[in-house]
Structure 1
């Protein structure tokens, strides 16, 4: 049931409080359709249970289509992306959706000086641009907003570099009578 989305240069950028929640819903939906997904969790925000729970009842091993890895530092993230770019001709790797969860989180660690942060964020944006230009499909989710000019600049440059709309999802609030509650039907 494998499906590929590599024939288009897809990029989705989700930002804001609800980005992680919506990202998990997208991952569940896509993996249920057989899309191979590689999650790069940079902010300890991947929730396997949420993905499994939202796809329970399917006759398809959804979690078998999802690879997960953690990047603990900006340098590990950049090394992973460099590895993808070096292996750009590998059609199996290129057919996956690469979901980057909170890729900028570690760049704002207190141990990283401001000049280094700016340089690393610019490099990250350039790497995402290269991935997209090479035909990799990207889902970038930044769920935590930072009150810093460097973060705002990073988001703006990222949006321009991957040629996509900036989506700031808003979760529909539950009404007291439960009409919008998904828990009623699960």
Structure 2
């Protein structure tokens, strides 16, 4: 059963708070109708400035380095050294996505945070048969559950807006597998997060080191 905790920020910085206290053990997800990829990149900045490496598996050209460099400019931090610790791999077919996730599952890297950007759409586009897409999505979920079981920190960033029946059937499974689930809401130009699921927080958080 999902929680219904709402965090209404007095400033944009508060949108960092849920991920700063994330226990970084396994699978979690950020979702919403809009704005989620921009927020995810701001979270990547928070991790990178705290000394973590960040790996993006970008499935729909959602990675935009200028969002991160804008954060560095706001705080007068040289962007070059920060960007050296942020990696991007693109995957545009279901099989490329599955292969990349298998690599992540089999090669845990110290101090690496993984971001999976917009993975689902590739499984129900026009080039994939509906039955095949459902089968491959279930395979992706199995790999993500393996990643979760190994406590590899991975954040799935996925929109809620798709009406395709394959997505509507799969999304609740992905949400159920996630230990933390945040929904970004934007109303009257105000952004806030609803905490739909919450794991037990880790004793060690980013808050001591993050310059956000």
Q: TM-score, normalised to structure 2's length?
A: 0.71
Please say if 1:121 is aligned against 2:149: no
Structure 2 residue matching 1:169: 3-state secondary structure: strand
Please say if 1:58 is aligned against 2:74: no
What is the count of residue pairs matched by the alignment? 165
**Structure 2 partner of 1:170:** 185
Offset at 1:164? 2.8
Shift in alpha-carbon separation, 1:87–1:29, aligned structure 2, 3 A: closer
Instruction: Give the counterpart of 2:41 among 20, 24, 34.
Output: 24
**Structure 2 partner of 1:180:** none
Whole-angstrom distance in 2 between the partners of 1:100 and 1:111: 21
Shift in alpha-carbon separation, 1:41–1:8, aligned structure 2, 3 A: closer
Trace 1:14-163 onto structure 2 (pairs within 5 A): 14-16=30-32, 17-56=34-73, 57-59=76-78, 61-88=81-108, 93-143=109-159, 145-163=161-179
Offset at 1:11? 3.0
Structure 2 residue matching 1:168: 3-state secondary structure: strand
On the 8 A contact 1:18/1:143 being kept in 2, the answer is no
Whole-angstrom distance in 2 between the partners of 1:164 and 1:51: 23
Offset at 1:12? 2.5
RMSD across aligned positions (CA) = 2.1
Shift in alpha-carbon separation, 1:8–1:48, aligned structure 2, 3 A: closer
Offset at 1:170? 2.0
Q: Quick check: which one's strand share is greater?
A: 2
Whole-angstrom distance in 1 between the partners of 2:55 and 2:133: 26
Name segments (4+ residues, structure 1) moved above 4 Å. 172-175
> What are the Cα deviations for residues 112-162 of structure 1, in whole angstroms up to 9, with x where unaligned?
011001001111111111101111101110136210232122221112223
Structure 2 residue matching 1:145: 3-state secondary structure: coil
Gaps of 5+ in 2: 1-20, 191-212
Offset at 1:18? 1.9
Gaps of 5+ in 1: 176-186
